[in-house]
């Protein structure tokens, strides 16, 4: 039973390029969350999705960032026109139902470096 799968694990982009991070939730989990972790800092909530729906995107920057969780395939976090400040670890987590009391299972993260 595979856990939460994220890829790529490491991604290097130059300023102005696009970054696409993918996340496949655990089998049986229908809810996906994206968190950003800057070096030496905590986890900042970005967005919470279920299939074909964005439930809460209050942590997403208004520009350049978007997320989706299509009916088929993984969830995608897309960052357009990356800047150096986007360099961070992006963690995806999943849960079986809408979380109000459920545990999140995290993936290994995607570490983005912007040159």
Contacts to another protein by CB under 8 A: 31, 33, 35, 41-45, 48, 55-56, 58-59, 91, 93, 95, 98-109
How far, in whole angstroms, is CA 90 from its chain's centroid? 6
Q: Please, which residue, 85 or 100, has the CB nearer to another protein?
A: 100
Minimum Å distance from CB 64 to another protein?
21
Instruction: Give per-residue burial for 85-112: e unless 16+ CB within 10 Å, then b.
Output: ebbbbbbbbbbeeeeeeeebeebebbbb
Q: Please, which residue, 48 or 65, has the CB nearer to another protein?
A: 48
φ, ψ at 27 (rounded to 5°): -60, 130
Minimum Å distance from CB 9 to another protein?
11
Q: Please, which residue, 19 or 110, has the CB nearer to another protein?
A: 110
Minimum Å distance from CB 55 to another protein?
6
φ, ψ at 6 (rounded to 5°): -120, 140
């Amino acid at each position: 039973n595979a856990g939460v799968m994220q890829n790529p694990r490491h991604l290097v982009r130059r300023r102005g390029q696009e970054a696409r991070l993918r996340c496949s939730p655990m089998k049986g989990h229908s809810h996906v969350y994206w968190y950003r972790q800057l070096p030496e800092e905590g986890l900042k909530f970005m967005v919470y999705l279920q299939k074909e729906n964005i439930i809460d995107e209050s942590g997403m920057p208004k520009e350049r960032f978007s997320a989706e969780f299509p009916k088929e395939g993984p969830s995608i976090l897309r960052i357009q026109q990356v800047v150096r400040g986007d360099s961070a670890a992006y963690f995806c987590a999943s849960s079986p139902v809408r979380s109000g009391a459920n545990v999140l299972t995290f993936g290994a993260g995607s570490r983005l470096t912007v040159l």
